[in-house]
Amino acid sequence: MADSSLSFLFDAALQDYEKKTGINLASHPFAAQLDSSHSVESITTVLLGQAQAFSEFQAVYSQIVKSVKNIVSIITSLSATATLSYAVGFVRHKTFKLMAYSTALTAFTVIPICNTRCSRYPT
């Protein structure tokens, strides 16, 4: 009786998993490997093969994550530098603009740091 209850629960769990994920675990290649294993040694071999594959995946994944972190770090640094350059350029432009107005200069050269808000001559 306990065997049929356990089998019923297991089948219900498999069906629920398939509804949620769209993956039928009963037809998965790993399930087929376990089905064909009839001894402790053969089951252990299948499980060790999966553990080895997972270990290799973790090594590759770790390298990918490290590379992504390095790239994000560089991009973040460049972004912060570009933002700072824009802010400094904008402040410098405003300061020169005020100086131009206060000294009644009509033409005045500013080296722009950005292309969108800075201009060669203040307006």
- Over residues 1-11, the pLDDT tens digits come to 456 788 899 88
Which position has the higher pLDDT, 80 or 88? 80
Q: Is residue 8 part of a domain?
A: yes
Q: Tell me whether residue 77 is in a domain.
A: no
Q: Is residue 30 part of a domain?
A: yes
Kindly state whether residue 49 falls inside one of the protein's structural domains.
no
- Please give the model's pTM, rounded to 2 decimal places: 0.44
Domain hosting 18: range is 1-36
User: What are the tens digits of pLDDT across the range 23-51?
Assistant: 998 888 888 898 899 999 999 999 999 99
For residues 117 and 93, is the Cβ–Cβ distance under 8 A?
yes
Domain membership flag for residue 41: no
State how far the Cα of 102 lies from the Cα of 64, in Å rounded to an integer: 57
Sequence-distant contacts of 102-110: CB under 8 A, at least 24 apart: none
- SS3 state of residue 19: helix
What is the number of domains present in the chain? Answer: 1
